[in-house]
Amino acid sequence: MEEVAPGIHKICYDPELRPGVFNTNSYMVIGREATALIDTGWNRPEEVQARLEYIQRTPHTPIGYIIITHRHGANVGGAAAIQKAHGGVIMSHPVEKEHIDAALEGPKVERTVADGETIRLGDLTLEFIHASGHTFGSLGVFLRERRALFTGDNVMGEGTSVVNPGQGDIGEFMETMEKLLRYNAQVIYPGQGPVVRDPKGKLEELIAHRRERENQVLSQLASGPKTVEEMFRAIYTDLDERRHNMARNQVRSHLGKLQREGRVTMPDEGATYRLA
């Protein structure tokens, strides 16, 4: 937990305490007239308490907004407790609202925002970006005066972002990376992991990584029809077992995109894919 730039605090609960569990960055953006929180961490008593204590001991203007980048428990969990203690309007993209509301005990999303909408914190302006990919209604936030981009889980400080079938879309993820590049940000504050000081390099790396995976899937199918399991085994040869299901879902997501593009078919309704 630290001030990463004047008036911007990164609040990350101690990862040492929960090995194997993803740890969320939440952020406090302190403007002259109001403060915004971006994401709120898991709903675990010790974690919620740690975040609340950090907010309480950090001098700030009244909390006007609690912005939830997307539906996942790691991002929305602490929102109810923080809202109860500090107030603030809970905000999301309209596509995520019902999912976030379902995860919240008590308060609900009060305001949804569309691509391009802004809020003012006095001297600071937050611009919302519809950033479909990791989830369909993921929200990016651009702090204009600092050229700082808050990406939620579309960009991680380390490694790559995950796109799970049914929740997000790899084709839209790649379009979102191109869209985020156009903001020409100086810094990315990611949903997990360290601050990214080379946004252009990181975004281009994520696009390249997805292209490479797609090519791996296509070359697997070039040698004959295959199941998800066969492709997963061939592509992810050295992966921590805890991440295997995540990796299978990445293969499925790529296959979904390729099917929509008419490049891959699954003719027998079974589980075997082939090139179109």
**Nearer to Zn ion among residue 153 and residue 214 (C-beta):** 153
Separation between Cα atoms, residue 241 and residue 252, nearest integer Å? 18
**Nearer to Zn ion among residue 7 and residue 168 (C-beta):** 168
At its nearest, how many Å lie between Zn ion and the CB of residue 233? 26
Residue 147: CB atoms within 10 A of its CB come to: 13
At its nearest, how many Å lie between Zn ion and the CB of residue 75? 6
- Indicate the helix (H) or strand (E) that contains 275: strand 272-275
Separation between Cα atoms, residue 157 and residue 149, nearest integer Å? 12
Within 8 A by CB and 6+ apart from 73, the residues are 42, 43, 103
Binding site for Zn ion (CB under 5 A): 72, 153
At its nearest, how many Å lie between Zn ion and the CB of residue 162? 7
At its nearest, how many Å lie between Zn ion and the CB of residue 114? 21
Closest to 125 measured CA to CA, from 31, 238, 44: 31
Integer CA distances (angstroms), 2 to 8, 51, 116, 150, 153, in order: 9, 12, 29, 16, 20
**Nearer to Zn ion among residue 155 and residue 174 (C-beta):** 155
**Nearer to Zn ion among residue 191 and residue 199 (C-beta):** 191
At its nearest, how many Å lie between Zn ion and the CB of residue 127? 21
